[in-house]
Amino acid sequence: MYDALRPLLFKLSPEGSHELALDLISAAGRLGLTGLGRQPGRLPVQVMGLEFPNPVGLAAGLDKNGTAIDGFAGLGFGFVEIGTVTPRPQPGNPKPRLFRLEQAEAIINRMGFNNAGVDALIERVRAARFKGVLGINIGKNADTPVERAVDDYLIGLDRVYAHASYITVNVSSPNTPGLRSLQFGDALKSLLESLRQRQEDLAVRHGRRVPIAIKIAPDMTDEEIVLTAQAIRDAGMDAIIATNTTLGREGVENLPYAAEAGGLSGAPVREKSTHVVRVLAGELGGRLPIIAAGGILSGEDAAEKIAAGASLVQLYSGFIYRGPALIREAVDAIAAARP
């Protein structure tokens, strides 16, 4: 069915088709229609102490406000990550800010955390029927100085804690100035220390420990990846998500829109993201789970991430180009590659 729908969606502006697709998935979820298609087989995995029915999830940014949780879950995703959400609502960057590079099966975006704020997101989560694994991805408002970023993350943590299966701390969007500096050195260590302390307090208060995953960028040297991994592990965090979009343009240099500012995702980021997963896995040696995202456009790509050391995968651009069939294809390929 997506084969018939895609040409129509791709005739609209990228952001117009994004909104329409989200409305359709949300409405179909409300009516229980998304669950009618062929579902992926069960492939249960335990990660971060949580039980996943299959290892293929929805990546952050597609459902920033949590308006279509039931719809996405019905399509067969093993887990759904919503957000990035910021403490206060904000409009994001001026449009146009989303571009399709169709020949490369890629997307460039500089959305800039457009979202309705954490209170609105929590209302949506409360209204959802979904009982599976829900990740909530938190960020900072654009007008919060980066030196005070920790305040925004702690507000996010406090507010979403009771509603999330796990919480992702996004320090890797390229579209919020200064954000990526939080991935390195003392800025990272002090952020992680604050998060860990607050996580302990919240665990006592709520009688439940909610795992925290840190989401990192693909644009790091191997040395930087290792240092970041060590800091995240030493701080007692629960997982690493690798990766966000890239600032690189390798492989798309001559295509329309390649010169647009923002993060590149889809097929051109695949190898870079897999490389980060491999370096992380080498350093962490299984002591901290890795959730892989970046350029998964086929079942084979998903299996490649697992072979590189990931325990779970997430889809964004591949879902735009391939539709819901990719979920089942990815689950099947991961199952087939199991020893």
Residues annotated as part of the active site? 173
- Taking CB under 6 A as the rule, does residue 242 contact ligand FMN? no
Going by C-alpha positions, the residue among 321, 225, 314, 327 that lies closest to residue 272 is 225
* Residue span binding ligand FMN (CB under 6 A) among the ranges 28-36, 42-50, 232-240, 291-299: 291-299
Distance CA 277, CA 282 (A): 9
Position of minimal CB gap to ligand FMN? 61
Site for ligand FMN, residues 176 to 235, rule: CB under 6 A? 215
Residue 334 as a binder of ligand FMN (CB under 6 A): the answer is no
277 touches ligand FMN (CB under 6 A) = no
Minimum gap (Å) between residue 81 Cβ and ligand FMN: 8
Q: Which helix (H) or strand (E) holds 228?
A: helix 222-234
Q: Which is nearer to ligand FMN, 124 or 215 (CB)?
A: 215
> Does residue 76 belong to the site contacting ligand FMN (CB under 6 A)?
no
Least distance from C-beta 32 to ligand FMN, angstroms?
27
How many of the other CB atoms lie within 10 Å of CB of 15? 16
By CB under 6 A, name the one of 25, 28, 82, 98 that touches ligand FMN. 98
| Cβ-Cβ contacts under 8 Å for 223 (sequence gap 6 or more) | none
Strand residue runs (E) in the chain: 45-47, 50-52, 56-58, 79-85, 98-101, 106-109, 133-138, 166-170, 212-216, 239-242, 263-266, 290-293, 312-315
Tokens 């919020």 -> residue = 176
Residue 58 or 339 with smaller CB distance to ligand FMN: 58
Q: Does 61 bind ligand FMN (CB under 6 A)?
A: yes
Shortest distance, position 241 Cβ to ligand FMN, whole Å: 7
Among 21, 269, 277, 334, binds ligand FMN (CB under 6 A): 269
Q: Please, which of residues 302-331 interact with ligand FMN by CB under 6 A?
A: 315-318
Q: Which of 67, 90, 93, 137 binds ligand FMN (CB under 6 A)?
A: 137
Nearer to ligand FMN, 53 or 295 (CB): 295
Residue choice 156, 295, 309, 324 for contact with ligand FMN (CB under 6 A): 295
To which residue do tokens 């009982």 refer?
131
Structure tokens at 122: 């929590």
Query: Is residue 299 a contact point for ligand FMN (CB under 6 A)?
Result: no
DSSP 176-224: STTGGGGGSHHHHHHHHHHHHHHHHHHHHHHTS---EEEEE-S---HHH
193-63-107-23 Cα dihedral, nearest 10 degrees: -170
Which of 127, 244, 226, 230 has the alpha carbon at shortest distance from 179?
244
Pick one of 22, 111, 276, 284: the residue that binds ligand FMN (CB under 6 A): 111
Among 28, 54, 64, 217, binds ligand FMN (CB under 6 A): 64
Bridge-based pairing of strands 290-293 and 239-242 is parallel
Farthest CA pair distance, the chain: 54
Chain residues that interact with ligand FMN, rule: CB under 6 A: 59-61, 64, 84, 98, 107, 109, 111, 113, 137, 170, 173, 215, 244-245, 265-266, 269, 293-296, 315-318
